[in-house]
Amino acid sequence: MSHVCRSCGQTNLSTILSLGKTPLANALMTETQLTQFEETYPLNLVFCPICTLVQITETVPPEKLFRQYVYFSSFADTAVQNAKALVEQLIISRELTQQSLAIEIASNDGYLLQHYHHQNIPVLGIEPALNIAQVAQQRGIRTISEFFGQELAQQLRQKGQLADVIHANNVLAHVADLNGFVEGISLLLKNNGMAVIEVPYIKDLIDHVEFDTIYHEHLCYFSLTALNKLFTKHGLSVVDVEHITIHGGTLRLFIQKNPASQSLNVQSLLAKELSWGVDKLAFYQNFGGKVAQLRESLVALLHDLKTQGKQIAVYGASAKGSTLLNYFGLGQETLDFVVDRSTVKQGLYTPGSHLRIYSPEKLLEAKPDYTLLLSWNFAEEILNQQHEYHQRGGRFIIPIPELKIV
C-alpha cells in the first residue's frame, strides 16, 4: 500500500524503522477493559526523499486521540516555567497591550495563556480535548473546543479575531493535514504578527535514540529543512530558530509573513543540516540498529535483576513509556507497577502492558529495589522529587539517551 507524504504529496517513501503494531499510547485502561479486545495499529517510521519530512504512515482519527485527553501540561513544572519565560519575553519584544490578541493552538489547560491573561492581554485558546478545555475555561482562559485548520482560521478571521502572536507547542507533529494547519496560521496572523512554534527535533531523536517519542499521536518528526519548505509554501518565513532542551530536544521557530529575512541562526542551522545529511536516507539508516541494541541491553538488565529476586517499578505512565514497554515486550512478568504524578492516570492501567498506575508515594511504601524511569525527559525534576526514595537505597534505571543506573 503506498503512503503519501503529509507535506508534499510524494508517494515514494522509504522505511526507517518498524515498531510493529502497538496500542494507542495514551489509551489507559480501566480494570474492566483489561479483559476486552485492545485495538492496535501499525507504527512505521518513513522518510520522504523529496521534502525530507520524517513521518509515520498510519493516521488514527484525531477524534479518537484527542477528544478526551489525559496529558495536562500543568503537571510538568518545566513546561509551565518555560512558557512563562517565553511569554514575558514576547510581551516586551512584540510590545503587546490590552488591544493585542494572543492565540494558542492546542492550548491544553491554559498553562501558557495564563501568563498573558495575568498581564491583561486578551487571549484565545483552541483546544479540541473537551475535558481539558473545560479546565482552561475555569481558569478564565477563553477557549474554543475545536480542531484547528484552514476552516476554523477562516471563521475567526471573518470575526476579526486576528492574532499578534500565535503559539503552537507540540501540536504540528499531531496534525494530519499539515498544509491546512499552516495555511490556517497564515490566515490568522496579522501582517506584522509572529507565530512561535515548538516541535520535537529530528536530530535529537536520531542522536539520542529517542525512538519512544514515536507513537500514533506524533505523525511527523521535523528538521528545519523540512519545516522551511513547508512554511515557505504558505507565504510564511522562519525568521529565527532556537534549539531548546525541553522534551528531549525541541526546535522553537519564530515565523512571520513573507518577505521576512532569515536570521543567522536559521541560515546556519539549515547549512548544518545539509552537512549532516538530513535530506538523505543514509542519515536515518543506523537508527533501527541502535534501537535494537538498546532493546537487547535493557531487556537483559531487567531479566538479570528479576532473576536476583529484585522488585522493579516504573516511573511515568507516559506515551513514550507505552512505546518502549510495548516494543520491548515488557509487562507484568518483569515489572511490578507504575507510578505517575498525574492524578488523572492513577488507578488506571498502561495500554498493552497492563500495569497498574499508582501515585509516586507508592515508591516509599513498596520500596522497589529499582525504578525504570520512562519519563526520562524530566529525569532531573523527578530525581529531585524522589530524593527520599533514593536516600533509602532505591535506584533508578534511565534507558535513554543511554542505559544507566543512578
User: At CA 253, angle to CA 221 and CA 62, rounded to 5?
Assistant: 45
User: What SS3 class is residue 67?
Assistant: coil
Condensed to tens digits (0 to 9), the pLDDT of residues 190-219 reads: 999 999 999 999 999 999 999 999 999 899
Q: Is 83 left (phi over 0), alpha (psi -120 to 50) or beta?
A: alpha
Contact 257, 191 (CB under 8 A): yes
pLDDT number for residue 2: 67
| Grid coordinates of 61 | 482519527
Q: What domains lie within the chain, and their CATH numbers? A: 66-285 (3.40.50.150), 288-405 (3.40.50.720)
Query: To which H or E segment does residue 65 belong?
Result: helix 62-66
Contact 206, 283 (CB under 8 A): yes
Condensed to tens digits (0 to 9), the pLDDT of residues 13-43 reads: 999 999 999 999 989 999 999 999 999 999 9
pLDDT number for residue 1: 56
- Dihedral angle at the C-alpha atoms of 369, 373, 379, 384, nearest 10 degrees? -30
Contact 16, 288 (CB under 8 A): yes
* Among candidate residues 335, 328, 326, 336, the one with its CA nearest the CA of residue 294: 328
- Residue 391: burial class (beta carbons within 10 Å; 0-12, 13-18, 19+): exposed
Local structure of residue 361 (DSSP, 8 states):
T
User: At CA 82, angle to CA 77 and CA 85, rounded to 5?
Assistant: 125
pLDDT number for residue 61: 87
User: What SS3 class is residue 248?
Assistant: helix
Q: Is the pTM above the cut of 0.85?
A: yes
Cis omega (within 30 of 0) for bond into 360:
no
Cα–Cα distance for residue pair 369/396, rounded to 1 Å: 9
User: At CA 211, angle to CA 232 and CA 375, rounded to 5?
Assistant: 105
DSSP string, 154-221: HHHHHTT--EEEEEEES-GGG-S-HHHHHHHHHHHEEEEEEEEEEEEBHHHHHHTT-GGG-STT--EE
**Residues lower than pLDDT 70 in the chain:** 1-2, 67-76, 260
* Among candidate residues 378, 374, 20, 401, the one with its CA nearest the CA of residue 209: 401
